[in-house]
Amino acid sequence: DAGVIQSPRHEVTEMGQEVTLRCKPISGHNSLFWYRQTMMRGLELLIYFNNNVPIDDSGMPEDRFSAKMPNASFSTLKIQPSEPRDSAVYFCASSLGQNLNEQFFGPGTRLTVL
């Protein structure tokens, strides 16, 4: 099993540019989570999907952030326009069925906005 796959692993962009982060969950998992990790705020849940439907997006910081899950094997997190304070490591995680008790994390995308 390849585990959760995220791309790109590193992204450096300039303020104002659009950024798209991608995630492929583990095959068969139907819950998917997007987290942001920073030194100041720790690990924050941004949004999670179950069966491709957003269940809780209360952690999405503002309208500049959007997430989609068009099918069971793919999700994107988009930031438009990006700002320096968006610099962080973004993790995607997935879990099986309604069992949210074991989430499998991807390696993360390190985003730097200059």
Partner 1 sequence: AQSVTQLDSQVPVFEEAPVELRCNYSSSVSVYLFWYVQYPNQGLQLLLKYLSGSTLVKGINGFEAEFNKSQTSFHLRKPSVHISDTAEYFCAVRLSRSSASKIIFGSGTRLSIRP
What is the smallest separation between the CB atom of 48 and partner 1, expressed in angstroms? 6
Q: 94: closest CA among 22, 24, 46?
A: 24
**At 90, is the secondary structure helix, strand, or coil?**
strand
How many residues bind to partner 1 according to rule CB under 8 A?
A: 20
Q: Is residue 96 at the binding interface for partner 1, with CB under 8 A as the rule? A: no
CA dihedral 106, 108, 109, 114 (to 10 degrees): 160
Q: Does 107 bind partner 1 (CB under 8 A)?
A: yes
Both structure tokens of 86 = 């968006």
> What is the x/- site pattern for partner 1, positions 39-78, by CB under 8 A?
---xx-x--x-x----xx----------------------
Q: Looking at the DSSP assignment, which residues form a beta bridge with residue 54?
A: 49
List contacts with partner 1 (CB under 8 A): 4, 33, 42-43, 45, 48, 50, 55-56, 91, 93, 98, 100-103, 105-108
